[in-house]
Each structure stands twice: as structure tokens, then as C-alpha cells.
Amino acid sequence: MDFSVVNWLAVIVAAVVAWLFGAVWYMSLSKPWLKAAKLDPATMQRSAIPFIISFIAELVMALILTLVVGAITGGEPNP
């Protein structure tokens, strides 16, 4: 694998956008999910670790997608 051709800015931007989309999705659906799961938000622990792990996962997914698309297209952009 040749990481020198990776557009790192695009990978980071893609990861941030995906992470923000996930945050909006979670914020809009968390209350109905908690109610359906019969969970009380007051008794749940608050931690930043899930957010950090999800961002790292988004970075890994964006990088892998970049490498796969680059391998499929031969690194050439389509006109």
C-alpha cells in the first residue's frame, strides 16, 4: 500500500463529517431509543471514550475507503 498518494485532508474532512452526521443522528433519536429501551439517562455514566473511539473508527473507515477506491480506479480520477 502506498500511503503517499492519500489525500489526508480529504480523509480527515470525511471522518469529521461522518462523525458529525452520527452525532446529529444520535441526538435526534436518543430520547426515543432510551424510552424504548427503558433506560434512565440519569443513571447512565457519561464518558468521552465512546466519542473518541467512534471518531477513530471514522478515520479508519475513510482511509480504507480511500485506499479501496484508489486501488479500483488505479488512482485516476474519473472525468
Whether 1 shows a pLDDT value over 70: the answer reads no
With respect to residue 16, please indicate whether it lies within any of the assigned structural domains: yes
Q: Amino acid letter at 71? A: A
40 in a structural domain: yes
Is residue 12's pLDDT more than 50?
yes
- Residue 45: the pLDDT is 84
Number of domains in the chain: 1
C-alpha cell at 73: 480506479
Q: How far apart are CA 60 and CA 37, in angstroms?
A: 30
Asked if the structure places residue 61 within a domain, the reply is yes
Q: 18 pLDDT exceeds 80?
A: yes
Cβ 24 vs Cβ 64: under 8 Å: no
pLDDT the model gives residue 71: 85
Q: Which position has the higher pLDDT, 27 or 76? A: 27
Distance from C-alpha of 75 to C-alpha of 68, rounded to nearest angstrom: 10
Domain that holds residue 25: 3-73
Residue 78 lies in a domain: no
Model confidence at 69: pLDDT above 50: yes
Q: What percent of the chain lies above the pLDDT cut of 70? A: 92
